[in-house]
Chain A
Amino acid sequence: MLFGFGVDANNSHDPAFETLRDSLLRPTERIGIESALDENPLPQPWPATLQYNLRARIARIADYEAAFNETQKIQNISTRKSRSRELKKQYWVYKADQIQFFNQAIYGNTPTRERFLHFWLNHFTVGTDTKSRNLIGDYIQNIIDPEMSGSFSDMLYSATTHVAMLHYLDNFVNIGENSKYAKKHSREFQLGLNDNLARELLELHTVSAAKDYTEDDIRALAKVLAGWFPYNLDSPNALKDIGNIRVPFSEYHAEPGSKIVLGKKYGPGVSALRAVTDDLANDDLTIQHLSSKLCKHFLSDEPSVKQTRYVADVWRKTDGNLPDVHTAVLELAYDTETKKFQSPLVWFLSMQKLSGATLIHGWRDSIEERRIHSGVYEPGKIMTEMGYDFWEKRQPNGFSSLIQDWVSSEHMERRIRLASMTYQFGRAKNSVDEMLEFLQPSQETINLINSTKDERARFVMFFCSKEIMGV
């Protein structure tokens, strides 16, 4: 079974299990290429100038709003337009994040780790509106990626308290009803709890609906969460320094007093949330929920009880140490004969890697705004078209792992189109014959591909084969 995004056809077909496992242990260096149009694009460290810290990212959102309002005063229409275009380039950094995300998967040397990263990024979904797009890159690089080397409870806490999550699930308006802030301002606005994050924290991120929790539990958890990042992203005054704060918690907006969540009492203050998330992380229903979800994502739409149990056992034994949990999934993947349908994103990335194509922007291509007629493509557009865009507004339950959600005539058409585009514009380094030699697919697949001499058709059919799609 292919893992990661497949492998570079020039490398070994069956990377040693140890190599894959090792890659799970530590965060990887961010890798990318300068331009996909170079003859032999050299993977190199992602430029520091394109790495923004959280503070810079948030400040850009507020600054953009302010600068944009200024441009509206410009009388000359074309000056105004070109100015606002410059502003977009200057302040919206998410396109660079998207390119890095794709580059890392294609040119990075730890594709297996990346696949687990995609899993967790999807599990802790922070689908976005325009305002918080800037934050997702930071969420990936500073929360999901590093926390994958630690325990689930750490990741749960970090993800829950990241600004991207707090903003996405409306916690910025979740304010304690008895907080000092509410008492002072209650005459001006109606202030109070918002239970969105609390609800999804229970239902989606941890114990799932299998746990018998009540609306009171959700409310209590919302009270615990009240005061976490109570700022609107485009209010410049509240935000200038927020990126420096390790823990974005405001006592002033928090609900005082202790709360009872799922029968357990938690004290007031900033530490209560960590106590709750630790308890939730260690709840056996969380372990079962996530073990099953991991197996469904990586092994089969209907994993066996044995497989799920194996992952859950490792989880319990190691207290949710993610490298160990991931290793367990990998062991099962090496062991299993069942097929797992490849999601559009994994499929697309595999195609780029296996064929050695360079269809996707390097960082300079984006800066210079190169488009398809130069032979490069923006990754954001491709994600959108595949219905698998981590930067798009989406529901908190993330993308499905199941085949029925990704097979339809249109999904198949997208694959045929994307494969023919990759062939036509992508400067693939490996011929279909070379890839066949390398992959050694079934005779049936070889016959299919050899049924025509048209190289583009051969390329398309190769990537629509059972082996590559995972059916």
Chain B
Amino acid sequence: MFSLSRRTFTLSFASSLAYVGFPKFGFANATNQGKLVVIILEGGLDGLAAVPPIGDPQLLEYRRLLLPENNIKIGSFFALHPSFSGFVKMLAKGEASIIHATSFPYTRRSHFEGQNVVESGSINPFVEKTGWLGRAMDMAGLSGRAMALGMPLLARGNVKVDNFFPANLKGSFDPTIDITRSLSSYFGNAEAHKTIKRSIDGVERKYQNAPKFFSRDPAQLALQAGKQMNKDDGPVAAIIRVHDFDTHSNQGADSGQHADQMRVVNDIFVNLKKGLGPSWENTVALTLTEFGRTVRMNGSSGTDHGYGTVGLLAGGLLGKSSVLADWPDMKKLFEGRDLRSTIDYRAVCAACIERAFLLDHKAIASKVFFDPNLKKISDQIFV
């Protein structure tokens, strides 16, 4: 086998993207504006591996082989996976939180539906064409830029968003203004060509307010995004995406595929903090995943698509560390196989939007998540 280090692993397999928004010029609350980072964990994070409830006797019964030996105890009931060596320091310093037994209310266990649900923010898959972050930023009057080849669904819904993801085509030429301007006026103002025209205009704006150099490694990306966000006129939001949480086989415990991916998440948190510098105090970063994984190990030493999982939050904006859960009885699994979800993760997202973008919860509930009954839990998560 190759002696594949984690770094080369993430470089070769995990592509990623970040979304960065910029405060509108003259935005009234610009000084109080918080910053929001969403870390999408694609494939389904195993909440019981990331934050195992070591105080629950059922845990050992279900998944002896998937439990790391070197868990980091964070209390009498919960522990953190050893990959989270940086995150645990944030937890100790009062700037990270864990929400457990949570999920978007989606139980059909399909990646594609699930990813659509968590990004669009709608309960029904493939209904909404825009994403909850895009809508929230639209509401807050923020324009932005996505660092991705395509436009992530999460960021759609805001016409002021364009994207940035430098080409890796050696020998190619930077597009000239002559070409982009001619094309832009050629596509004109017709409704049918609106998106294309906007994209071409974006090519010309490409290098404005964006880092000149750029890596696709998620942890490096987090550092760059953090540095950009720390600037006075810098972005207010970012998305970082990590693939490959879908460990149907050979998930591993202390080390292994899932552990490697969790270490990427840990590094993202650490690098964000490093890049953000003083702005870390005003930031909240949260993970987002389509579902958890089955409580029991499957036949191939992995886990299959499940339901309840864990959400990790970090950033000075939290003002305190907490581990929040309404811990379900693990003797009674959801449909006999999954951890139940007792916290609607949309409420966690809503709380972060509320505090970061200084929006009203009711407005978020009805206009961003289309659910006026969505609970307000910002007071529990934030100081």
Hey, which bits of chain A sit against chain B, CB under 8 A? 65, 68-69, 129-130, 170, 173-175, 177, 182, 189-196, 199, 203-204, 209, 215, 371-373, 377, 381-382, 384-385, 387, 393, 395-397, 403-414, 416-418, 420-421, 424-425, 444-445, 448, 451-452, 454, 457, 460-461, 464-466, 469, 471
Contact = CB atoms under 8 A, between A and B. Distances in A.
A195 B304 contact: yes
Contacts of A173: 248-250, 299-302
Contacts of B383: none
A191 B299 CA distance: 4
B321 interface: no
B373 interface: no
Contact of A448 (B112, B182, B198): B182
Given A170-B249, A448-B186, A412 B199 contact: yes
B170 interface: yes
Contacts of B244: 393
B76 interface: no
Contacts of A413: 167, 175, 203, 206
Nearest to B3: A72
Nearest to A416: B175
A445 B13 CA distance: 41
B335 interface: yes
B302 A194 contact: yes
B65 interface: yes
B164 A409 contact: yes
B281 to A, nearest CB: 32
Interface in B124-166: 129, 146, 148-151, 156, 162-165
Given A393-B13, A444-B186, A460-B179, A424 B173 contact: yes
Contacts of A406: 150
B129 A196 contact: no
Interface of B: 1-2, 12-13, 65, 108-113, 129, 146, 148-151, 156, 162-165, 167-176, 178-180, 182-183, 186-187, 192-193, 195-196, 198-203, 205-206, 243-244, 248-250, 297-302, 304-305, 335, 337
A408 B162 contact: yes
A328 B1 CA distance: 49
9 contacts: A196-B248, A203-B112, A397-B112, A407-B199, A412-B202, A413-B167, A416-B179, A418-B169, A471-B192
A414 B167 contact: yes
A461 B297 CA distance: 55
B382 to A, nearest CB: 34
A405 to B, nearest CB: 5
B83 to A, nearest CB: 21
B150 A395 contact: no
Q: Is the interface of A mostly helix, strand, loop or mixed?
A: helix
Contact of B299 (A193, A203, A452, A454): A193
Given A215-B335, A411-B149, A420-B172, A404 B129 contact: yes
Contact of B112 (A129, A395, A425, A445): A395
Given A209-B110, A372-B170, A417 B150 contact: no
B60 to A, nearest CB: 14
Given A65-B1, A409-B202, A387 B300 contact: no
A414 B206 CA distance: 12
A153 B369 CA distance: 42
- Closest 5 pairs (CB-CB, A-B): A192-B299, A409-B202, A173-B300, A372-B171, A417-B172
Contacts of B113: 209
B151 to A, nearest CB: 5
A175 B248 CA distance: 13
Contacts of A420: 172-173, 175
Given A194-B300, A209-B113, A385-B169, A408 B149 contact: yes
Contacts of B198: 409
Nearest to B145: A409
A425 B171 contact: yes
Contacts of B196: 407, 412, 469, 471
A396 B179 CA distance: 37
A381 to B, nearest CB: 7
A464 B193 contact: no
A69 B183 CA distance: 54
A192 B110 contact: no
Given A409-B163, A410-B163, A421-B172, 7 more contacts: A173-B299, A191-B299, A385-B167, A408-B162, A410-B149, A414-B149, A464-B183
B228 to A, nearest CB: 17
A410 B148 contact: yes
Nearest to A395: B111
A408 B163 contact: yes
A408 to B, nearest CB: 5
A258 B269 CA distance: 50
A461 B203 contact: no
Contact of A189 (B182, B301, B302): B301
A177 B171 CA distance: 55
Nearest to A392: B15
Given A189-B301, A192-B299, A451 B151 contact: no
A175 B178 contact: no
A245 B244 CA distance: 32
Nearest to B294: A195
Contacts of A411: 149-150, 199
A254 B109 CA distance: 25
Contacts of A464: 183, 200
A289 to B, nearest CB: 13
Contacts of A209: 108, 110, 113
Given A405-B150, A409-B163, A457-B179, A421 B195 contact: no
A381 B171 contact: no
Contacts of B2: 68
Nearest to A420: B173
A174 B299 contact: yes
B164 A410 contact: yes
B129, B196, B250, B335, most chain A CB atoms within 10 A: B196
Contacts of B178: 452, 454, 457
A461 B300 CA distance: 52
A69 B3 CA distance: 10
Contacts of A190: 65, 297, 299, 301
